[in-house]
Amino acid sequence: MKKVLVLGATSAIAQSTVRLLAARGASLYLVGRNATNLDAVAKDAATRGAAKVEQQALDLNDTAAHEALVERATQALGGLDGALIAHGVLGDQKACERSWVDAEQVLRTNFLSAASLLTVLANRFEAQKAGTLVVISSVAGDRGRQSNYVYGASKGALNVFLQGLRNRLAPSGVAVVTVKPGFVDTPMTAHLPKNKLFASPDKVARGILRAADGRKNEVYVPGIWALIMLIIRSIPEGIFKRLKL
Amino acid sequence: MSDAFQSWGRFPRAARQAAHPIVWQTDRLPATSGTLLPYGQGRSYGDSCLNEGGTLLTTATLDRLLGFDAATGVVRCEAGVTLDTLLRLAVPRGWFLPVTPGTKFVSVGGAIANDVHGKNHHRAGTFGRYVRRFELLRSDGSRRVCSPEENPDWYEATVGGLGLTGLILWAEVQLRPIHNPFVLTETVPLENLDAFFAVSRESEPDHEFTVAWVDSLARGRKVGRGLFYRGNFAPPQFDGLPLAKSHLSHGSGLAVPFDMPGFSLNRLSVAAFNALYYRANVLKRGQRLQHYDPFFYPLDAVQGWNRIYGRDGFLQFQCVVPHATARAAIQEILERSAREVPSFLNVLKTFGGVPSPGWLSFPRPGVTLALDFANRGERTWRLVAELDRITREAGGAVYPAKDARMSAESFATYFPQLERFKAYVDPAFSSSFWRRVTVAPAVQPAALPLQEGAPLPAVPLRSSL
Ligand SMILES: Cc1cc2nc3c(=O)[nH]c(=O)nc-3n(C[C@H](O)[C@H](O)[C@H](O)COP(=O)(O)OP(=O)(O)OC[C@H]3O[C@@H](n4cnc5c(N)ncnc54)[C@H](O)[C@@H]3O)c2cc1C
Contact B44, B110 (CB under 8 A): yes
Q: Which atom of ligand 1 is nearest to the CA of B114?
A: 21
The answer to whether B442 touches B454, Cβ cutoff 8 Å, is no
How far is ligand 1, taken at its centre, from the CA of residue B174, in Å?
A: 19
Higher-confidence residue: A144 or B344? A144
Name the pLDDT band for A128 (thresholds 50, 70, 90). Answer: very high
In this predicted model, what pLDDT tens digit does every residue of B131-144 receive, in sequence order? 999 999 999 999 99
Average confidence (pLDDT) over B394-409: 97
Q: Which of A69-73, A131-135, B95-99, B267-271 has the lowest mean pLDDT?
A: B267-271
Within an 8 Å CB–CB cutoff, is residue B67 touching chain A?
yes
pLDDT digits (tens, 9 = 90+) for A32-55: 999 999 999 999 999 999 999 999
Q: Give how far the C-alpha of residue B133 lies from the chain's centroid of Cα atoms, to the nearest Å.
A: 22
Q: How far is A120 from chain B (nearest CA, A)?
A: 31
DSSP H helices, B307-428, are 323-340, 378-393, 408-414, 418-422
Q: Alpha-carbon distance B177 to B233, whole Å?
A: 10
Give tens-digit pLDDT for A76-93: 999 999 999 999 999 999
pLDDT score of B354: 98
**Pairwise pLDDT comparison (B261 vs A75), residue with the higher score:** A75
**B399 or B261, which is more confident?**
B399
Q: For residue A202, is pLDDT > 70?
A: yes
**C-alpha A214: how far from chain center:** 17
Residues in contact with A231: Cβ distance below 8 Å, sequence separation at least 6, in sequence order: none
Nearest by CB to B66, from A12, A44, A190: name it.
Answer: A44
* Model confidence pLDDT, tens digit, residues B156-184: 999 999 999 999 999 999 999 999 999 99
Is the pLDDT reported for residue A174 higher than 60? yes
Q: Which residues of chain A have a CB within 8 Å of the CB of B67?
A: 43, 46-47
Q: What ipTM score was computed for the predicted complex, to two decimals?
A: 0.94
Name the band, by pLDDT with cuts 50, 70 and 90, for residue B82.
very high
Distance from CA of A47 to the nearest CA of B (A): 5
pLDDT per residue as tens digits for the range B274-298 = 777 777 777 777 788 999 999 999 9
- Evaluate: CB of B107 within 6 angstroms of ligand 1: yes
Measured between CA atoms, the residue of chain A closest to residue B85 is A48
Q: How high is the pLDDT of residue B248?
A: 39
The more confidently predicted of residues B211 and B456 is: B211
Q: pLDDT exceeding 90 applies to what percent of chain B?
A: 77
Residue A119, pLDDT > 80, answer: yes
Q: Kindly give the distance from the C-alpha atom of residue B39 to the centroid of ligand 1, in angstroms, as a whole number.
A: 9
B258 has pLDDT over 70: no
Distance in angstroms (rounded) separating the CA atoms of residues B426 and A241: 53
Does A145 score more than 90 pLDDT?
A: yes
Across the range A188-196, mean pLDDT stands at 83
Q: Using CB atoms, which residue from A34, A47, A187 is nearest to B67?
A: A47
- DSSP line for A195-245: -TT-B-HHHHHHHHHHHHHTT-SEEEESTHHHHHHHHHHHS-HHHHTTS--
Question: Which tops the pLDDT comparison, B457 or B206?
Answer: B206
Bigger pLDDT: B270 vs B463: B270
Give the model's pLDDT for residue B446: 46
**Per-residue pLDDT for B405 more than 90?**
yes
Average pLDDT, chain B: 89
pLDDT for residue B3: 62
In order of A20, A22, A152, the CA distances from A184 in angstroms are 18, 22, 16
Chain A residues near residue B23 by CB distance under 8 angstroms:
187
pLDDT at A94 over 80: yes
Return the pLDDT at B321: 98
- pLDDT value for B256: 38
* Mean per-residue pLDDT, B367-396: 97
